[in-house]
Amino acid sequence: MKELKAVLANWEAVIGLEVHTELTTLQTKMFCSCKIEYGAAPNTHVCPVCLGMPGALPQPNKAAIQSIVLAGLATNCQIQRRSMFYRKNYFYPDMSKNFQTTQGPVAFCMYGGIDLEVTGAAACERDQRQGTRPLASGDGYVTPIGIQRIHMEEDAGKMVHVGGESGRITGADYSLLDYNRCGTPLIELVTKPDLRTPEEARLFLQELRQIFLALRISDCSMEQGSLRCDGNISLRRRGSEQLGAKTELKNMNSFKNLHDGLAYEICRQAKVLESGERVLQETRHWEPSARRTVSMRIKETADDYRLFPEPDLAPYDLSDEFVASVRAMLPELPAARRTRYLSDYELPAADARLLAADNDLAAFFDSALLAASANTDGDLSASGLGGGKGGQAKSVRLVTLAKQLANLLLNDTQAYLNVHNFKLVDTSLTPEHLVQLAALVADGELSSKQGKEVFAQTIKEGTSPRDTVNHLGIKQLSDTDALQAVVNDVLARFPDKVQQYRAGKTGLLGFFVGQAMQATTGQANPQLLNEMFMQTLAE
């Protein structure tokens, strides 16, 4: 099969996503007071309403409506003041009511969109960039992705197929039903077909996940199925405006599967079209292990579901006051956080992106900066670096500390958390200690290697970095007399390299510094060594 890049040179992929998110942070289900709990014993959180017993009346969950309005506001949707619920009829054992309560033509949230940043290697999949603009950082582009609607619906139960090989219903001996998930509030976001590459689709889903996590409306676990994504995809010749027949792709339960499934389907459709055949409008299943998509069924149309108004639920009239009260609950979103880290602290773009994407790390970083700025109040810059938002002068000191803090969080802290499978709250690290350590490294009192040593102690034992330094007697070697002896010794050991350096091979400086660092078991101040070698070699 042809490579994706070669296919995309001739064909334009038109991709839309349908993203289902379970509102897992809510206590109770959408229309009854059954508890929402992942992993509970089967069929222990059920009642007449979510099982659809005759005569049971649904009552909507206000917190769920708040959550979907939050999602809509965060993705720039228009909140529809008037909407209602419908019954989507289907017969399948995973929903004992035989209909799913969902929304009809008008959803709570409609006509939104976000600006998607596509960076690094991901930017390479799209070489024709109509409708995009380059990123200020120069390593990618921004493209607007429209959101058609976000509507509210309820989840179905879970089926476990026993026997057979694939765990699918085909070939199974029997199936088990767990109705605990039945009636869990689910929001479905439908994008416009604005995505053009599998990478854009992957990044969009990641951005959306970050937004929903920041809103705290779901744990967004693709592994546990609280965030699920289907893709609609069609191809058209480059330059053509007409849409081709589309297929719907299912079972893309990780970011990698979403990317790989779409990439495979783009190549498959190109092959079909190039051989003069027609793409069938059908639902296909991505099989990650076989790395292919297989046909599941020819697509149903909306008519098959006999959508009709839910007679047991009154239409909604969301008041302006309600929408305003939800708007007031909006936290800072990842995109705004990224911009703030770039403009206020001049973090490297990649660091700003990584930090802003992680709520815990970002909150810790912000607390640390607050502690740092309390300590650097009298140190505001007069060097022209000032002029952040709101005319606040930016402290050079704070910018230096921020970079060091970001580095400690993204590298040392993250590595520690990964190794021990901890969350930040499981450790003894405090923002104040991290600031202290950042300052010790920034001021050259500790080499970065010594910083790592002290960090290990701080995050494990909760001791203050300053105490650890005193206790262990760690001190960066900055005594120029002692260091000069080391410098002279290194130069005496490598006379041929000295000759090469003086003949213009100045890249050897790093080699000399490395030798001196080794000789001092990493205790020396590398910046100072750098200067001393340059000076001595110039003599």
* Chain residues in the site for Zn ion (CB under 5 A): 32, 34, 47, 49-50
Specify the 3-state DSSP secondary structure of 69.
helix
Angle of CA points 453, 338, 122, to nearest 5°: 90
Q: Any idea of the CA torsion for 407, 413, 415, 417, to the nearest 10 degrees? A: -150
Q: Which is nearer to Zn ion, 87 or 149 (CB)?
A: 87
Q: In the bound complex, what is the minimum distance in angstroms from residue 310's beta carbon to Zn ion?
A: 16
Q: In the bound complex, what is the minimum distance in angstroms from residue 23's beta carbon to Zn ion?
A: 15
**What phi and psi values does residue 245 have, to the nearest 5 degrees?**
-70, 140
Q: In the bound complex, what is the minimum distance in angstroms from residue 88's beta carbon to Zn ion?
A: 19
Residue 114's nearest CA partner among 186, 231, 13, 195 is 195
Q: In the bound complex, what is the minimum distance in angstroms from residue 183's beta carbon to Zn ion?
A: 6
**Residue found under tokens 């995009």:** 132
Q: Which is nearer to Zn ion, 47 or 396 (CB)?
A: 47
**C-alpha–C-alpha distance, residues 532 and 491, integer Å:** 12
Buried b (16+ CB within 10 A) or exposed e, 136-175: eeebbbebebbbbbbbbbbbbbeeebeeeeeeeeeebeee
Q: Which is nearer to Zn ion, 60 or 522 (CB)?
A: 60
**C-alpha–C-alpha distance, residues 97 and 277, integer Å:** 42
DSSP 443: T
Q: Which is nearer to Zn ion, 52 or 386 (CB)?
A: 52
Q: In the bound complex, what is the minimum distance in angstroms from residue 312's beta carbon to Zn ion?
A: 14
Q: Which is nearer to Zn ion, 24 or 407 (CB)?
A: 24
- Residue 205: other Cβ atoms inside 10 A: 24
Are the C-beta atoms of residues 189 and 19 closer than 8 Å to each other? yes
**C-alpha–C-alpha distance, residues 89 and 309, integer Å:** 11
Q: In the bound complex, what is the minimum distance in angstroms from residue 431's beta carbon to Zn ion?
A: 42
Q: How many residues does the chain have?
A: 539
What radius of gyration do the chain's Cα atoms show? 29
Side-chain-side CA neighbours of 492 within 13 Å: the count stands at 6
Enter the tokens of residue 375: 């300590």
Q: In the bound complex, what is the minimum distance in angstroms from residue 96's beta carbon to Zn ion?
A: 11
Q: Which is nearer to Zn ion, 47 or 424 (CB)?
A: 47
Q: Which is nearer to Zn ion, 72 or 183 (CB)?
A: 183
Q: Which is nearer to Zn ion, 180 or 210 (CB)?
A: 180
**Residue found under tokens 């239409």:** 315
Q: In the bound complex, what is the minimum distance in angstroms from residue 45's beta carbon to Zn ion?
A: 7
**C-alpha–C-alpha distance, residues 484 and 71, integer Å:** 62
Q: In the bound complex, what is the minimum distance in angstroms from residue 37's beta carbon to Zn ion?
A: 12
Q: Which is nearer to Zn ion, 29 or 340 (CB)?
A: 29
In single-letter form, the type of residue at position 18 comes to E
Q: In the bound complex, what is the minimum distance in angstroms from residue 32's beta carbon to Zn ion?
A: 3
Q: Which neighbouring-strand residues pair with 89?
A: 99
Q: Which is nearer to Zn ion, 45 or 246 (CB)?
A: 45
